[in-house]
Structure 1
Amino acid sequence: MSDAAGDRDTDRGRDRGRGGSAPFAPHEWQIAWRYMRARRREGGISVIVWYALVGIALAVGTLIVVMAVMVGFRAEFTDRILGAEGHARIYPIPVVQDDGRRVSAIDDYDALAERIAAVPGVIRAAPMIEAQVLVSRGSANSGAVVRGMRISDLQDLPYVAHPELSEGSLEDLTHGIALGEGVARELGAYVGDMITMILPGGQATPFGMAPKIKTFELVYVFRVGRADVDRSRVYMTFEAAQDYFNKGDTADQVEALMAHPDLLGSRANPTEADAALIRAAGHNRVLWTWKDANGAFLSALDVERAVMFMILSLVVVIAALNIISGLVMLVKNKGRDIGILRTMGLTQGAVMRIFFLCGAGIGTLGTAIGVGLGILFVIYIDPIFDVVNFLAGGGIWNPEIRMLTEFPAELRWQDVAASAGLALALSYGITLFPARRAARLDPVEALRYE
Structure 2
Amino acid sequence: MILNRYERIIAKRYLLPGKGEGERFIFLVSMISLGAVALGVAALIIVMSVMNGFRAELFEKTAGLNGHAVIQGYDGRLSNWQQIADSAKKVPGVTSALPLIEQPLMASANGRVEGVLVRGMRVGDIRQNPVLTGGVKSGSLNNLTPGCNCVAIGTRLAQQLGAFPGSEISLISPEGRDTPIGTVPRIVSYTVAATFEVGVYDYDNAFVILPMEDAQTLLMMGDQVGIVEVKVTDPDKIDRQMGALSQIVQGRGVAVDWRSMNAAIFEALEVERVAMFVVLSLIILVAVFNILSSLIMLVRAKTRDIAILRTMGASRRGMMKVFVTVGTTIGTLGILLGIIIGAVFLFFRQPIVNVIQWMTGQNLWDPSVRFLSELPSKTDPVEVTVIILTALVLSFLSTLYPAWKAASTDPVQVLRYE
TM-score, normalised on structure 1?
A: 0.88
Amino acid at match of 2:105: V
Q: Is the 8 A contact 1:135 1:198 kept in 2?
A: yes
Mapped to 2, the partners of 1:131 and 1:380 lie a distance apart of: 40
* Alpha-carbon distance between aligned partners in 2 of 1:45 and 1:447, rounded to the nearest angstrom: 23
* Deviation, structure 1 residue 282: 4.0
Matches within 5 A, 1:298-377: 298-377=266-345
Distance 1:149 1:53 in 2: 57
Name which one, 1 or 2, has greater alpha-carbon Rg: 1
Displacement of 1:383 after TM fit?
A: 2.5
Match of 2:34 in 1: 53
Answer yes or no: is 1:85 the counterpart of 2:59. no
Q: Deviations over 1:259-286 (max 9, x none)?
A: 333332xxxxxx1211122233343220
Aligned twin of 2:82: 110
Task: Show the counterpart of 1:25.
Answer: 4
Closer/same/farther in 2, CA of residues 50 and 105 from structure 1, 3 Å limit: closer
The correspondence for 2:408, drawn from 440, 443, 450, is 440
2:16 corresponds in structure 1 to: 37
Taking a change above 3 Å as real, the CA distance of residues 298 and 345 of structure 1, as seen in their structure-2 partners, is same
Deviation at 1:226, TM superposition (A): 0.9
Question: Residues 174-208 of structure 1: CA distance to partner in whole angstroms, max 9, x if unpaired?
Answer: 21222111221111011111211111242211222
Q: Give the conservation status (yes or no) of the 8 Å contact 2:123–2:144.
A: no
Q: Is the 8 A contact 2:137 2:194 kept in 1?
A: no
- CA gap of 1:432–1:77, structure 2 versus 1, over 3 A, is same
SS at match of 1:411: coil
2:214 corresponds to which of 240, 260, 279? 240
Residue identity opposite 1:441 in structure 2: T
1:147 to 107, 119, 127: 119
8 Å CA contact 2:177–2:183 kept in 1: the answer is: yes
Indicate conservation of the 8 Å contact 2:353/2:364, yes or no. no
1:352 and 1:93 mapped to 2: Cα distance?
72
Residues 151 and 171 in structure 1, CA contact (< 8 A), matched pair in contact too: no
Q: Find the aligned partners of 1:221 and 1:173 in 2 and give their Cα distance.
A: 16
- Equivalent residues of 1:173, 1:220 under 8 A apart: no
Contact kept, 8 Å, 1:115 with 1:281, in 2: the verdict is no
Within 2, Cα distance between the matches of 1:360 and 1:105? Answer: 65
Where in structure 2 are there 5+ consecutive unaligned residues?
none
Match of 1:167 in 2: 139
Question: What secondary structure is seen at the aligned counterpart in 2 of 1:195?
Answer: strand
Structure 1 alignment gaps of length 5 or more: 1-21, 95-103, 265-270
Match of 1:97 in 2: none
Give the whole-Å Cα distance in 2 for the aligned partners of 1:162 and 1:374: 29
CA RMSD of aligned residues (A): 1.8
Equivalent-residue separation in structure 1 for 2:144 and 2:2 (angstroms) = 77
2:194 to 199, 217, 220: 220
CA distance in 2, matches of 1:163, 1:391: 30
Distance 1:173 1:179, change over 3 A: farther
Matched letter for residue 220 of structure 1: A
Quote the Cα distance in structure 1 between the aligned partners of 2:41 and 2:367.
29
Q: Distance in 1 between matches of 2:134 and 2:306?
A: 71
Question: Following the alignment from structure 1 to structure 2, what is the Cα–Cα distance between the partners of residues 409 and 222?
Answer: 22
CA deviation after TM superposition for structure 1 residue 68, in Å: 1.1
Query: Cα deviations across residues 389-412 of structure 1 (Å, max 9, x unaligned)?
Result: 222225111112111111111222
Q: Match for residue 176 of structure 2?
A: 202
CA distance in 2, matches of 1:449, 1:400: 74
Of 158, 162, 169 in structure 1, the residue corresponding to residue 130 of structure 2 is 158
* Alignment-derived partner of residue 249 in structure 2: 281
Matched, 1:127 2:127: no
Q: Is the 8 A contact 1:173 1:219 kept in 2?
A: no
Change (3 A) 1:120 1:161: farther
Q: Is the 8 A contact 1:125 1:255 kept in 2?
A: yes
Whichever residue aligns with residue 120 of structure 2, its letter is G
Q: With structure 2 as the length reference, what TM-score do the two structures score?
A: 0.94
Output the CA distance in 2 between the equivalents of 1:163 and 1:379: 22
